[in-house]
Chains A and B, each alone.
Chain A
Amino acid sequence: MSLKKQLINEQGIRTDGRGIDDLRPIKITLGYLAHANGSVLYEQGKNKILAAVFGPSEVHPKHAELPDRAILRVRYRMAPFSTEERKSPAPTRREIELSMVIRNALESVVLTELFPRTAIDIFIEVLQADAGTRVAGVTAAALALADAGIPMKGITAGCAVGKVDGKIVCDLNDIEDKEGEADMPIVYIPTLGKISLLQMDGLMTQEEFKQALSKAINSAMKVYQLQVNALKTKYIKVER
């Protein structure tokens, strides 16, 4: 494609001024909502994601409950005004898939066996989308769960990496996601050293995949530091 825009210049600077390994600025506002048991407004560049947690609470309908653990109910949704063109408010196949993928990523860390016969509801509302919303959603959900005081084996920290102009770059923005060659969202649990979400689409060589995986884990570690700082700051304040 001859008309393709150049997304990384000769100095290795991206369209928004970042280097290839830099994340977008992240801002975490814990307890953003008054009524949810736990909530957070998670901003990563232009992404604005609101996550809230309710529960553990009684399950309705009753037959949906499990005798040995809590069920998780996860909804990932994008607001109609969150994208360049209006998105229909009806749930898309993408949102249904991502709700499941996010639930799977969280089930492996939430200690659901501590709350049998209950439900924990996790709502992720993307108010503004600018690439990497599923991993930002999992990152935000972990913060909201911690804010709600729900015990977890570890905190899930997510970051997407991808291939843009032939280079492996961290935390793609919207243009890089659309014009780039590949996108690989990852959720990592630093305290366990394990991956709980991994997807990729696009084209990568096997060498590039290896490089992308290690860059994704490094990026997730950075996100994790910010999560920990935000949680500590809030609870130090509460203590006083």
Chain B
Amino acid sequence: MSVTREKPVVSKILQKNMLELLSNGIRIDKRKLDEYRKISYQVGIIEKADGSALLSLGETMVLVGVKVELGQPFEDTPDQGVLVVNAELLPLASQTFEPGPPDERAIALARYVDRSIRESNTVDLKSLTIVQGKICYVVYVDVYVLDYGGNLVDASVLAAVKALENTKIKKYELDENGKIMKTEKVESLKLNDFPVSITFGIINNKYFVDPSLEEEQACDTFLTFTYTKSGNICAVMKNEQGLIAPAQVIEMMELGWKKAKEISSLMLGGQKGND
């Protein structure tokens, strides 16, 4: 059962200040309405994982580890490998996160990261079959939120894709008796796309990208778009309670694509982002 959560208390003065600034096109941390916080990342920092990425977006920090194991394909997709995305909002990331199994926020986050990767066909699932209908590789993507400074969605999608890019698969093959054997071969996971998600915070019909924690607490609602490299939209999610006018949805979609292009050129190549 999903139950109303208590809204964080945001002081009236701060809210008023924020709104006044927004109507002049500035934000409380002096960013422009369409300006992201600094993004930096490191890949491969967890040696025992098959792929990993630690990504910071302003004060938000997300670690994604990828493990590839053997498993069974789903019955309705016998010719494809399996992708599993899980997210944990660790209690050390924020006082508002509680220990225990993933709650609805964590589940919604994991499912959005999953949709962004799956619908853009980023992981080439067809290349992960070993024996059709019987054995395939299962790619586990675990999103670990280490520090919650607002905009978990964009940080998680980026970190997940960076970790997948970093993933090496230990190859299994069938021997002459049809038995599955681990080989010495290691291959990079084959990726087809580079999805980028762009999140907007909305307060009193004013929207801006990449809400910080302070801004998130004052926001009425959020809208996220995920774009493929070619500019298609592969996932959309509205989060929290407020309302959005349809015309603004279209404006955000168009601005979002502009930002997605900027971020993906920033993220392609290089090991350290704009650090």
**Stretch of B56-64, B143-151, B237-245 on the interface side:** B237-245
B241: contacting residue among A108, A200, A206, A217, CB under 8 A: A108
Asked if A203 and B119 make an inter-chain contact with CB atoms under 8 angstroms apart, the answer reads yes
Contact with B along A77-112 (1 / 0, CB 8 A): 000000000000000011011011111100110001
A11 CB to closest chain B CB (Å) equals 28
Within 8 A of A (CB), among B225-264: 228, 231-246, 249-250, 253-254, 257
Q: Is A199 an interface residue (CB 8 A)?
A: yes
A93: contacting residue among B3, B110, B237, B250, CB under 8 A: B110
Q: Is B4 an interface residue (CB 8 A)?
A: yes
Asked if A97 and B234 make an inter-chain contact with CB atoms under 8 angstroms apart, the answer reads no
Q: Is B169 an interface residue (CB 8 A)?
A: no
When chains A and B are docked, how far (Å) is the Cα of A107 from the Cα of B6? 13
A73: contacting residue among B1, B107, B223, B239, CB under 8 A: B1
Within 8 A of A (CB), among B184-239: 221, 223, 228, 231-239
Asked if A195 and B108 make an inter-chain contact with CB atoms under 8 angstroms apart, the answer reads no
Asked if A205 and B2 make an inter-chain contact with CB atoms under 8 angstroms apart, the answer reads no
Q: Chain B: how many interface residues by the 8 Å CB criterion? A: 38
B231: contacting residue among A71, A195, A205, CB under 8 A: A205
A100: contacting residue among B108, B231, B250, CB under 8 A: B108
Q: Is A204 an interface residue (CB 8 A)?
A: yes
Given contacts A97-B107, A205-B232, contact A75 B245 (CB under 8 A): no
B156 CB to closest chain A CB (Å) equals 15
Chain A residues with Cβ under 8 A from B110's Cβ?
A: 93
When chains A and B are docked, how far (Å) is the Cα of A97 from the Cα of B246? 23
When chains A and B are docked, how far (Å) is the Cα of A54 from the Cα of B31? 46
Chain A residues with Cβ under 8 A from B232's Cβ?
A: 203-206
Chain A residues with Cβ under 8 A from B107's Cβ?
A: 93, 96-97
Asked if A206 and B245 make an inter-chain contact with CB atoms under 8 angstroms apart, the answer reads no
A72: contacting residue among B4, B104, B239, CB under 8 A: B4
Q: Is B170 an interface residue (CB 8 A)?
A: no
Given contacts A72-B3, A108-B242, A195-B246, contact A203 B234 (CB under 8 A): yes
Q: Is B52 an interface residue (CB 8 A)?
A: no
Q: Is B111 an interface residue (CB 8 A)?
A: yes
Chain A residues with Cβ under 8 A from B246's Cβ?
A: 188, 193-195, 213-214, 217
Q: Is B129 an interface residue (CB 8 A)?
A: no
A162 CB to closest chain B CB (Å) equals 12
Chain B residues with Cβ under 8 A from A112's Cβ?
A: 4
A134 CB to closest chain B CB (Å) equals 12
Q: Is A164 an interface residue (CB 8 A)?
A: no
Asked if B245 and A99 make an inter-chain contact with CB atoms under 8 angstroms apart, the answer reads no
A201 CB to closest chain B CB (Å) equals 5
In chain B, what residue has the closest Cβ to A91? Answer: B1
Asked if A71 and B241 make an inter-chain contact with CB atoms under 8 angstroms apart, the answer reads no
A94: contacting residue among B4, B111, B237, CB under 8 A: B111
Chain A residues with Cβ under 8 A from B244's Cβ?
A: 194-195, 198
Contact with A along B7-33 (1 / 0, CB 8 A): 000000000000000000000000000
When chains A and B are docked, how far (Å) is the Cα of A213 from the Cα of B235? 14
Asked if B120 and A108 make an inter-chain contact with CB atoms under 8 angstroms apart, the answer reads no
B245: contacting residue among A69, A74, A194, A205, CB under 8 A: A194
When chains A and B are docked, how far (Å) is the Cα of A205 from the Cα of B238? 19
Asked if B108 and A97 make an inter-chain contact with CB atoms under 8 angstroms apart, the answer reads yes
Contact with A along B109-136 (1 / 0, CB 8 A): 0110001000110000000000000000
In chain B, what residue has the closest Cβ to A198? Answer: B238
When chains A and B are docked, how far (Å) is the Cα of A108 from the Cα of B239? 12
Asked if A66 and B245 make an inter-chain contact with CB atoms under 8 angstroms apart, the answer reads no
Contact with B along A176-211 (1 / 0, CB 8 A): 000000101000110011111111111111100110
7 examples of A-B residue contacts, CB within 8 angstroms = A71-B3, A99-B104, A108-B241, A189-B243, A193-B246, A198-B249, A213-B250
A interface residue numbers (CB < 8 A to B):
64, 66, 69-75, 93-94, 96-97, 99-104, 107-108, 112, 182, 184, 188-189, 192-206, 209-210, 213-214, 217
